[in-house]
């Protein structure tokens, strides 16, 4: 397969995956009552990739997209890892499809038994592909990467189902890790525009927010934490 053919297929796959997110309701938009995020900030658009684990169609698309990405970017790994909790099923889908072993990473060490933060067998110096559902600023992804490396593994690549395009790629690049996504916010909004999924007013509000979250919060009198 030529590079141009691979890129064309991957672009098509990214569009199909974005459409599946809209179809299953994994992307929600509410301009009058924006969603409160874990950070305490607000957003008119919310991505809940956990919805996707109930869609066999998404699982097939996700696996196909991951194969294309790994082939196109020459990604090799010894095993896959998922982060507690949302990343675990996504890593499991790929582990089964690729016939590769899997581990998962806890957010914090257990307080009993072996007090482990890594569950499963992680051989020393094993190359690990961290698989997650979603990335925003990469905070939790960096924690998982460091936990794997502290346990003796090596992480050079992270693969997510959806990239919100809000700084995660650069944050990972700063520690020498490449980010790959099967789709992202730009593709999702482009598909919503083409299909008429979002009204013009809602689309404008989402784009205003993505362009400058701080200004978007200020215009609505909402607190904002950079």
- What total of structural domains would you count in the chain? 1
As a whole number, the mean pLDDT across the chain is: 95
Closest CA to 166 of 132, 197, 209: 209
DSSP 176: T
Is residue 225 included in any domain, yes or no? no
Residue 50, domain extent: 3-219
pLDDT for position 150: 96
Residue 203 CA neighbour count, 13 Å, CB half: 14
Binned at pLDDT 50, 70 and 90, residue 126 comes out as very high
Binned at pLDDT 50, 70 and 90, residue 38 comes out as confident
- Does 152 score more than 70 pLDDT? yes
pLDDT for position 113: 54
pLDDT for position 27: 98
Per-residue pLDDT of 50-71, as tens digits, reads: 999 999 999 999 999 999 999 9
Per-residue pLDDT of 73-94, as tens digits, reads: 999 999 999 999 999 999 999 9
- Does 224 score more than 80 pLDDT? yes
For position 151, which CATH number holds?
3.40.50.2020
Is residue 226 included in any domain, yes or no? no
Is residue 119 included in any domain, yes or no? yes
pLDDT for position 111: 61
- Does 114 score more than 70 pLDDT? no
Is residue 156 included in any domain, yes or no? yes
Per-residue pLDDT of 161-216, as tens digits, reads: 999 999 999 999 999 999 999 999 999 999 999 999 999 999 999 999 999 999 99
Give Cβ neighbours of residue 83 (< 8 Å, ≥ 6 apart).
104, 105, 107, 130, 132, 140, 141, 144
Is residue 54 included in any domain, yes or no? yes
pTM, entire model: 0.93
């Amino acid at each position: 397969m030529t590079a141009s053919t691979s890129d064309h297929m991957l672009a098509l796959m990214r569009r199909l995956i974005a459409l599946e997110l809209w179809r299953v309701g994994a992307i929600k938009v509410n301009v009058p009552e924006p969603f409160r995020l874990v950070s305490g900030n607000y957003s008119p658009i919310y991505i809940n990739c956990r919805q996707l684990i109930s869609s066999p169609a998404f699982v097939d698309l996700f696996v196909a997209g991951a194969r294309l990405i790994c082939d196109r970017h020459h990604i090799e790994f010894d095993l896959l890892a998922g982060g507690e909790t949302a990343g675990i099923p996504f890593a499991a889908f790929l582990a089964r499809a690729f016939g590769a072993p899997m581990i998962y990473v806890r957010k914090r060490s257990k307080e009993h038994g072996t007090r482990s933060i890594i569950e499963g067998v992680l051989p020393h110096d094993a190359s690990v592909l961290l698989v997650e559902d979603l990335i925003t600023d990469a905070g939790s992804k960096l924690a998982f990467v460091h936990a794997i490396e502290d346990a003796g593994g090596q992480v050079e690549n992270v693969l997510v189902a959806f990239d919100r395009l809000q700084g995660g790629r650069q944050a990972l690049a700063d520690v020498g890790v490449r980010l790959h996504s099967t789709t992202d916010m730009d593709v999702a909004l482009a598909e919503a525009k083409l299909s008429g999924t979002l009204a013009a007013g809602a689309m404008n509000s989402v784009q205003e927010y993505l362009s400058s979250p701080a200004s978007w919060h200020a215009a609505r009198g909402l607190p904002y934490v950079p």
